[in-house]
Amino acid sequence: MSAVEGEPGPGVENSELSQDENAELSPDERAELERLRAETAEQHRQGNGQAGNGKARRRRHSWRAPVSIVLIVLGCILAPIAVIGSWAALEVSSTGRYVATVEPLIHDPAIQNYLTDQITNQITSSLNVTGLVNQAADQLNSKGLTRISSLLTQFGPQISSSVTGFIHSTVHSVISSQAMATAWVQANTLAHQSLVKVLSGQGGGAISTKNGQIVLNLGPLIVVAKQDLVARGFKLASSIPPVSPTLALFQAKDLGKAQTYYRLVKAGRIILIVLSLLLLAAGVWVARGRRRALIGAGLGLAASMLILGIGLDIGRGIYLNSVPGNTFPTDAAAAAYDALVHFLRLTLRVVLVVGLVIAIAAFFTGPSRAAIQTRSGIKSGIDWIRHYGERRGVSTGPVGEWTYLHRRGLRIGAVALFALIFVFVGEPSVVLVIVLVILLLLVLGLIELIGRPPAEPESASETPESASQTSESATQT
């Protein structure tokens, strides 16, 4: 049988909408569905009236679709730049964030080994154990103790090696101690302002540039190691003069560009974030099908964060290949890079999950067949639970009726509340996003469960009529 003229065809999914589901649609969605119905009916009419020549009228293209696509694509392209800019500016503007970034380095075995080697070399070179052994041998020889002098000269290398080994093991135990971890945090806390000076072009301080690298002054750590050596009975360590070795943290070959980029990012960090959000919002607003545009924006945002994550992995390989192994071991350089981008990775993962949540939420609140079936299944389950409770005397009463009448406002309020919690939380994480989404779903489900539709008046009026009809049937019988 041919389709009845003017009725929507099988492609229009709204034909399966119930009255309650149709009431849930926004005015824009109803207008879109009515437009689809009209187009389907027009296609049927054209198919019946123009079967002879086989020509169909071309669908008119709107300017909204390309403009929406361009705006959403620009917003997704700008999103990774905004994330990187916000991360970079926050690293230098917040002492707590910077210390949280570098604090794990002192607990990394590769960094501990590197620091142990650097501090041991500085101490042994300052002590000059071989020179002290030779000096003692000369003094013994001048006093006629040639036998002892020759033995001391013969075993001088072994003595020097033993002293170096003792210093190395002692320094390593100090490096892995809580006292050194505290000194590391204190040194980096004081050095934070120096890092800002480096990026702003002023230089100086505990952090500076040296041979195309950003280096950290290890002088305070040397002091802690000296104190521990003296406490262990190695009194010779007290004669070590003040030294200020450095630890190469990151390559700075393009420090001039980094300084320029830092100044731009610091000034435009908020602007980049706001501009990216405005582009995405404008793209969704301009689109004819806003729900589909919102799904595309969410998926595009997630895809841009995925590309950023891939870029960080590629950058990690490039960085490790550019670091000379004789100045900074590869494992230590890898640990430094991973610590540097730790919060950047966390941020992009949060944005990625948020984009996916937005896309999924937009899809399952839409008029597609899968969304309708999913909502219908959930609604049937909630109705069953409500009716089960009512059959056992548990009813929400007037509160349930009020909740049902104001369910749309309650849903919007719940979503807005959880959005504000996410925006104003100090350090959002993927776990926080998942927890907030689960709690939001529970709140929305609770609204549906409490919301009790008012009793239909027909059901009350049907009871007397049914009784009268029953009595009439009995009389006739």
**pLDDT single digits (tens) 321-354:** 888 777 778 888 888 889 888 888 998 999 999 9
- Reference 452, options 378, 409, 389; nearest CA is 389
The helix/strand/coil state of 25 is coil
pLDDT at 471: 47
CA-CA distances (angstroms) from residue 399 to 405, 412, 414, 444, 454? 10, 18, 17, 16, 11
Distance CA 51, CA 275 (A): 51
| pLDDT tens digits for range 345-380 | 998 999 999 999 999 888 888 777 887 888 788 888
Question: Residue 60 is encoded by which pair of tokens?
Answer: 């008119």
Do the Cβ atoms of 102 and 188 come closer than 8 Å?
A: yes
The pTM of the full predicted model, rounded to 2 decimals, is 0.66
Output the pLDDT for position 75: 93
Domain coordinates in residue numbering, the chain: 1-60, 62-340, 367-454
Spatial strand order in the sheet of 207-210:
207-210, 213-217, 246-251
**Per-residue pLDDT reduced to its tens digit, 111-142:** 888 888 888 887 777 766 666 666 666 666 66
Check residues 163 and 136 and name the one with the higher pLDDT.
163
Q: What is the spatial distance between Cα 189 and Cα 95, in angstroms, rounded to a whole number?
A: 7
pLDDT for 27: 62
Can you give the pLDDT at residue 168? 83
Q: Is the pLDDT of residue 100 over 80?
A: yes
Average the pLDDT over 89-99 and give the result: 78
91's CB contacts (< 8 A; 6+ apart) are 97, 98, 101, 343
Angle at alpha carbon of residue 320, lines to 103 and 212, rounded to 5°: 80
Mean pLDDT is lowest, of 1-5, 178-182, 286-290, 321-325, for 1-5
Measure Cα distances from 134 to 21, 154, 240 in Å.
95, 10, 18
Q: Element (H or E) spanning 149, and its range?
A: helix 146-154
Report the range of poorest mean pLDDT among 32-46, 302-316, 387-401, 404-418: 32-46
Q: Which of 158-167, 342-351, 388-397 has the lowest mean pLDDT?
A: 158-167
